[in-house]
Amino acid sequence: MNNTPAQALLLAAGRGERMRPLTDHIPKPLLEVQGKALLQWHLEGLQRGGVHSVVINTAWLEEQLTERLGARFDAPPLPPVDIRYSREGRDFGGALETAGGIVRALPQLAPVFWVAAGDVYAPEFAFSGGDLARFAAGPALAHIWLVPNPAHNPKGDFGLSTAGLALNLAGDDNAPRYTFSTMALYKQAFFADCGIVPGNPDGIKAPLAPLLRRGMDNGCVSATLFAGTWVDVGTPARLAELNSGDSPV
């Protein structure tokens, strides 16, 4: 598995309800931060990390995504990134939620692959080939990056052990919790027992959090705390703050 080619899935299928009215006419991943579409920031980071094959899942206003991004992202002098699509809107009439969308795209992905949400701004995140190789060679089936809790998610999502495992903490546990950044590495085996056939031919909608929590309970999800810039660009106010040079909280 150490020779697995670097691939990624960018999640871009959602409606972006909280970002309305901006997303009434443009998909959220194409909204611009500092003059670049949100998806472009990820594509540039993936290109720097040596990832040259990306799948983007689409649903809401998906024609805009396919027309804007095309079949290749090219930013010389680095090698181009080939782009393919998992078109949930065309095939099923709407988004399949995160786990449903990932399983839909599995036939287009390598045994180990990156995932990141297209509406997250994290320009300093490194899609590191070293991280991918270590994960591929190790026992974990998923590796997630956690971030300090933003103001809109003060209770966080998951804990982090001293051994580097993500923890599904009980509601009354006082241990520190952190927010899931959406950036992650997965092995296809992580989705083997999710109850959906790879390729998701029936278009089953399924969230990711229950799979992650089950994996944490089984000790197969590792984690890293990311301290760089990270913003869930979920509202017009956060987008405006980013574009004004302020740091959203």
The residue among 244, 184, 172, 239 whose CA lies nearest residue 216 is 184
How many structural domains are present in the chain? 1
Q: Is residue 2 part of a domain?
A: no
Q: What is the pLDDT of residue 22?
A: 84
Q: How many CA atoms lie within 13 A of 59 on its CB side?
A: 22
The answer to whether the peptide bond before residue 5 is cis (omega within 30 degrees of 0) is no
Q: 3-class secondary structure for 161-184?
A: CCCCEEECCCCCCCCCCEEEEEEE
249 domain residue, yes or no: no
Tens of pLDDT, residue by residue, the chain (249 residues)? 445 568 999 999 998 788 888 888 999 999 999 899 999 999 999 999 999 999 999 999 999 999 999 999 998 888 899 999 999 999 999 999 999 999 999 999 999 999 999 999 999 999 999 999 999 999 999 999 999 999 889 999 999 999 999 999 976 677 899 999 999 999 999 999 889 999 999 999 999 999 999 999 999 999 999 999 999 998 898 988 998 876 554
CA 237 – CA 80 distance, rounded (Å):
33
Cα diameter, the chain: 51
**DSSP 8-state class, residue 242:** H
Positive or negative, the CA dihedral 61, 67, 71, 74 is negative
CA dist., res. 151 & res. 231, Å (int): 11
Torsion of CA 169, 170, 173, 175, to 10 degrees: 10
Is residue 147 a contact partner of residue 248, using CB atoms and an 8 Å limit?
A: no
User: Quick check: is 53 in a domain?
Assistant: yes
Residue 93 sits at the vertex; the CA angle it makes with 91 and 98, to the nearest 5 degrees, is 85
CA-based nearest residue to 48, from 139, 113, 129 = 129
Domain of 131, CATH number, reads 3.90.550.10
Residue 86 lies in a domain: yes
Provide the residue range defining the domain that includes 75.
7-243
Tokens, residue 202:
């029936």
What's the whole-model pTM score? 0.92
The answer to the question of residue 65 being in a domain is: yes
Strand order in the sheet with 142-147: 72-73, 81-87, 53-58, 7-12, 112-117, 179-187, 142-147, 221-225
Could you tell me if residue 14 is inside a domain?
yes
Task: Tokens for 205, please give them.
Answer: 């909608």
Q: How many CA atoms lie within 13 A of 219 on its CB side?
A: 3
Cα–Cα distance, 123 to 50 (Å, whole number): 16
